[in-house]
Structure 1
């Protein structure tokens, strides 16, 4: 006997809840969340979103713990109360209807940049540049407050990952798995930056190297604002996409400063001059 459409839909819904629990376990295992921190959501219909409950450990969730809300944040189903921060998730989904998965957490290395309000350098590591691009810092707002959703609006169409000042990160994409990937890649990249800084300094790639990565993104079918005409003649290593928004979030390049970049530029010029002399 062939199952009806509602049974198939329920099967898919249960599978999605299982996936959310698995992502929660992975986040908890990697210490991207502690205790009851973080939240996860998946859009399953035009006006239905599954989300994690408030005050509940993401490492121990079962499908029965998952809540359902509409696109206004009103709870439709679930034995537990939905997270207050689902409003942030819903704002992303409203702005970008193709988004299905959103992950918010406090991955420690990326959140260190959030607490320091230090812009994350671009043009350093290929995977970070290709899969994340430049990551902006949104201004601080109280977790769960309506204003938290407003802080990400200037960036949500230009990236897939945002650092929330003094708070954490949020990543999003067409699937929950991909949204989680971006959180994992970001924290790994931030850890590399911190370790490299302890060794000495972070060596940026050249503008030509960065443009090669932009071409790679194109081949992968990924988008990036730096593909536009505005950046055709700009040095990608010294012209951060979101630099004009740093002041609003109280951010400034201190640990990874413009002076470091200028020193590297001098080194590049010196090496090039030495090569020309040898010819």
Structure 2
């Protein structure tokens, strides 16, 4: 379901169900608001099942303060109204209590925002708001004071987070979801290493975000071949799985697949991975793309990998939270955990942050059948395969194996790697060169 096709009440329902389904709130926690073009503020009601709201449950607060709706407004509606009135540029607010953000709030600290490039870009200032009893003037005032400064994110002491967006509810949710993932990565990195994760310097962040997206000419598109239809269907199916399994977020992650030697399909720039449709896929050939569609910024990297590796048929770039621990620390990703991990992943090399832009040649030269996965520091995992399914399998194995290593830490032990003789046996039995 596309956000831009929904009215305000429907948008609130959809985003709240996404928050609940992503395990970022309980059935009774959290509230949302959305300001429409007429200046009305739409809010979620008090109580009820957050994962199963209906549009008729939502309330509309008119500019004169009149409330329309059959339910009682959320006890934190006053906070939403204060933020939207004090900061008229904002159009939507997300508030909930995901465990990772609550953990930070219990420490009365702020998450690292220079660990991942999209967090550094999306979180335009963050502050800690003092504690206040829910539904009270004290809490409203504390959050309002935080948002009177130039921020879009507030961590509430012993509570959760408020995130506001100028672009709308979908964007506010994306920031909220990405920040939660970021804190989970930060927490696991600290647990495994006893140290804080590596951060990206301002200079490198500026270079990363200032890199211009490639310009594409219009590609003449004819009737779709059977292969293209199959490729598109596979991307949409496995993108949905990847989102549901927490490998992609609504705004982070790109998938592509080859149709012909120099022709591939890739997700569009700004795609909502939570609701990808055929219109979110674009055909690319060289510096040409389907008219009216803008490929993901990494399209030229995908193209370079396909050019250098004819055996690669699909590429997935993602930031799965367990595996990303190895991207933000000095820890090496050991593929010698279980046989499946070695058989599927083979080996894994780290590349410096910024390589997706400035090191495309090196990445393309490294990736191949015997080295199908690359880690880009503080950025992503790049998984390649002979099909979308094969690339997805590698992403899934990388994430599951990383989680297993973290669970070893929780059990108070140390992972014991497969021996060299056991690796030789695996190579012999599975024909690994």
TM-score by length of 1: 0.67
Q: How far 1:75 sits from its partner (Å)?
A: 5.1
Q: Is contact 2:40-2:61 (8 Å) kept?
A: yes
Matches within 5 A, 1:94-243: 94-156=85-147, 157-174=149-166, 175-200=168-193, 201=195, 202-212=197-207, 215=210
Q: Tell me the C-alpha RMSD between the 2 structures.
A: 2.4
SS of corresponding position for 1:59: helix
- Richer in strand (by share): 2
**Which of 84, 91, 107 in structure 2 is aligned with 1:93?**
84
Task: Provide, for residues 37-71 of structure 1, a one-character-per-residue CA deviation record: whole Å limited to 9, x for no partner.
Answer: 11011112555211111011221100110012245
Which moves more between the two structures, 198-207 or 52-61? 198-207
SS of corresponding position for 1:36: coil
Number of residues of Structure 1 aligned to a counterpart in Structure 2 = 205
Task: Provide, for residues 146-194 of structure 1, a one-character-per-residue CA deviation record: whole Å limited to 9, x for no partner.
Answer: 2222213444242222111101111111211111111101101001101
**Which of 11, 23, 48 in structure 1 is aligned with 2:15?**
23
Find the aligned partners of 2:140 and 2:63 in 1 and give their Cα distance.
Answer: 13
The 1:198–1:192 alpha-carbon spacing in structure 2 relative to 1, beyond 3 Å, is same
Find the aligned partners of 1:187 and 1:14 in 2 and give their Cα distance.
Answer: 26
Task: Provide, for residues 58-107 of structure 1, a one-character-per-residue CA deviation record: whole Å limited to 9, x for no partner.
Answer: 211001100122457x5521111011101111111111112111111011
Task: Provide, for residues 192-251 of structure 1, a one-character-per-residue CA deviation record: whole Å limited to 9, x for no partner.
Answer: 10111112121222343244357569xxxxxxxxxxxxxxxxxxxxxxxxxxxxxxxxxx
**Highest RCO, 1 vs 2 (Cα 8 Å, sep ≥ 6):** 1
Q: How far 1:121 sits from its partner (Å)?
A: 2.1
The 1:14–1:194 alpha-carbon spacing in structure 2 relative to 1, beyond 3 Å, is closer
Q: Is contact 1:129-1:213 (8 Å) kept?
A: no
Q: Which residue of 2 aligns with 1:223?
A: none
**Structure 1 stretches of 5 or more lacking a match?**
1-11, 218-279
Q: Is contact 1:67-1:75 (8 Å) kept?
A: no
Q: How far 1:144 sits from its partner (Å)?
A: 1.1
Q: How far 1:133 sits from its partner (Å)?
A: 4.3
SS of corresponding position for 1:102: strand
Q: How far 1:141 sits from its partner (Å)?
A: 1.0
Higher Cα radius of gyration: 2
The 1:198–1:21 alpha-carbon spacing in structure 2 relative to 1, beyond 3 Å, is same
The 1:185–1:216 alpha-carbon spacing in structure 2 relative to 1, beyond 3 Å, is farther
SS of corresponding position for 2:162: strand
Q: Is contact 1:110-1:190 (8 Å) kept?
A: yes
Q: Is contact 2:39-2:62 (8 Å) kept?
A: yes
Q: Which residue of 1 aligns with 2:61?
A: 69
Q: Is contact 2:133-2:139 (8 Å) kept?
A: yes
SS of corresponding position for 1:88: helix
Find the aligned partners of 1:207 and 1:51 in 2 and give their Cα distance.
Answer: 37
- Richer in helix (by share): 1
SS of corresponding position for 2:164: strand
Q: Which residue of 2 aligns with 1:39?
A: 31
Q: Is contact 1:138-1:164 (8 Å) kept?
A: yes
The 1:104–1:81 alpha-carbon spacing in structure 2 relative to 1, beyond 3 Å, is same
TM-score by length of 2: 0.44
